[in-house]
Amino acid sequence: MGDCLFCKIVERKVPATVVYEDDHTVAFDDIHPQAPVHALVIPKRHVVAVRDCGEEDEALLGKLLLTCAKVARLKGVADSGYRIVTNTGKDGGQTVFHLHFHVTGGRPMRWPPG
Ligand code: AMP
Ligand code: ZN
């Protein structure tokens, strides 16, 4: 997608601190971290949000969650615990319309979220 910020990060046209990459996913540090660890895990292929996924995306969604777990290990929060969040649409608080999972940790996460 020509004007998608996260597609540009995948293509390295916009700089990011990439912490993990494989054939289908990329993870990088969030530019405005909300916790000591705050990474974003995205598919390389442009997908808007979970609600836009179909049966054909089953493997990709599984891979994204496994990448979240890998990133948590790489960031050293696997044992202490962490949160995985994907905001969807207006009420979900989504601001970048390329599917992404937030991986946050390094402090206790509050519940319920705002
Ligand atoms: P959301 O509000 O769930 O769509 O999350 C979008 C996230 O992308 C926010 O946490 C932003 O801080 C983050 N973000 C926006 N631009 C960049 C960027 N250039 N590099 C890294 N993270 C970004
Ligand atoms: Zn995109």
Mutate to test the pocket of ligand 1, among 68, 95, 98, 102 (most ligand atoms within 8 A of CB): 95
Mutate to test the pocket of ligand 1, among 94, 96, 98, 102 (most ligand atoms within 8 A of CB): 96
Mean of pLDDT values over 2-22: 97
Active site residues: 100
Asked if the 5-105 domain carries CATH number 3.30.1600.10, the reply is no
Residue 57, both tokens: 């995306």
Spell out which residues have Cβ within 5 A of ligand 2, the ion.
1, 4, 6-7, 46, 98
pLDDT digits (tens, 9 = 90+) for 35-74: 999 999 999 999 999 999 999 999 999 999 999 999 999 9
Indicate the domain borders of the chain. 5-105
User: pTM here?
Assistant: 0.98
CB atoms within 10 A of CB 71: 26
pLDDT digits (tens, 9 = 90+) for 90-108: 999 999 999 999 999 999 9
